[in-house]
Structure 1
Amino acid sequence: MTRVLWLAKIADASHVPTRAELTAGTDLTDGVAAIDGWSLANKPIETPTLGSTFETKIPGADEADDSSLTFYEDQTADTIEELLTKDVTGFMVMLRKGDVPGSRSMDVFPVRVGSRSAQYSVDNEAAKFVVNFSITEKPVQDAAIPPAAPTTERPATK
């Protein structure tokens, strides 16, 4: 159900893509073999007091986990390799429940590609490569998926 899209640009400063931007993006879903990271964590700040042996904490800075996508090698096309070159910037969009307009299940990660490397193996498995990403700004979480483009069907004639 989950869809994984690569968008080179998003016009909105808040990083929420339009339907046209989603449609223009590259759907990477079928090439993904594994996903790692793509979440936020908070680094709490300890706030001890002299009057208690209990050490309290308050929320501190948020940080993104190290994030990567592992892809299957394609014997005939280099689409993903050409899109995700070292240092390229863009947006990784995760539609957690699929492309369901109105669902608040879209996460948008502003990213920069840190590296891309083949995963060599002598095991009986599909060839793969890993792309490591740095999340460069605070991700947008739980955004509403924009409405689908209206259809332009003509009414049936008699």
Structure 2
Amino acid sequence: MASTQQRYMRRGVTKIYFVKTIQAATNIPTRQELTAGTDLSRQISDIEGWSLENSPIETPDLGAKFATSIPGEDKAANSSLTFYEDLTADVVETLLSKDVTGYVCILRKGDVPASKSLDIFPVRVGSRAPSYSTGAEPAKFKVSFSISDLPTLDAPVPAAAAG
């Protein structure tokens, strides 16, 4: 008997924050650190990367025609966020200028305390470039990030602030 799976669309659910500092060695933010960050979700038009990839090492041997492999080094995929440009403000451009460091926190299933769906990527902004077009589409710019340390994946979303 198959169990029921509640599928969902990321748009309108997933949240992305940029957090300048996280004190814990685990890179898991407290609720206060997360809310002190900037919620970028409403400005993002596209997202690329934000995952780990493994480069397998081939281990062929003389006794078999089949070439086996073992896991090799992990590395982060090229990661970027594309934003809608604001005609009158430059909040995101200032926040994510070249060489800025911080953490991109992705709450995959939304802001659901204790859900193990928080991915934290230590980052450094590599570039920020406008996307020029003559088409009838909104103005955008793309920010490319270098993942500067091992991401923390599947962390629990911090408990909501006591109210």
Name the TM-score class by shorter chain. over 0.9
The match for 2:58 is 46
Unaligned residue ranges in structure 1 (runs of 5+): 152-158
Larger radius of gyration: 1
The answer as to 2:117 corresponding to 1:105 is yes
The alpha-carbon deviation at position 142 of structure 1 amounts to 0.3
The alpha-carbon deviation at position 76 of structure 1 amounts to 2.0
The alpha-carbon deviation at position 14 of structure 1 amounts to 1.4
TM-score by length of 2: 0.91
Deviations 1:27-76 (A, max 9, x none): 00000000011111111111111100011111110011101000000122
Identity of aligned residues (%): 58
The alpha-carbon deviation at position 8 of structure 1 amounts to 0.5
The answer as to 2:150 corresponding to 1:138 is yes
Instruction: Specify the code of the residue in structure 2 equivalent to 1:139.
Output: P
The match for 1:7 is 19
The match for 1:155 is none
The match for 1:22 is 34
The alpha-carbon deviation at position 77 of structure 1 amounts to 1.5
Aligned to 2:22, the other structure's residue is in SS state: coil
Unaligned residue ranges in structure 2 (runs of 5+): 1-12
Instruction: Specify the code of the residue in structure 1 equivalent to 2:48.
Output: D
Aligned counterparts of 1:24 and 1:39: Cα–Cα separation in 2: 25
Aligned counterparts of 2:68 and 2:84: Cα–Cα separation in 1: 46
In the TM superposition, what are the counterparts of 1:9-158 in structure 2 within 5 Å?
A: 9-151=21-163
Alignment RMSD: 0.6
Across the two proteins, how many residue pairs are aligned to each other? 151
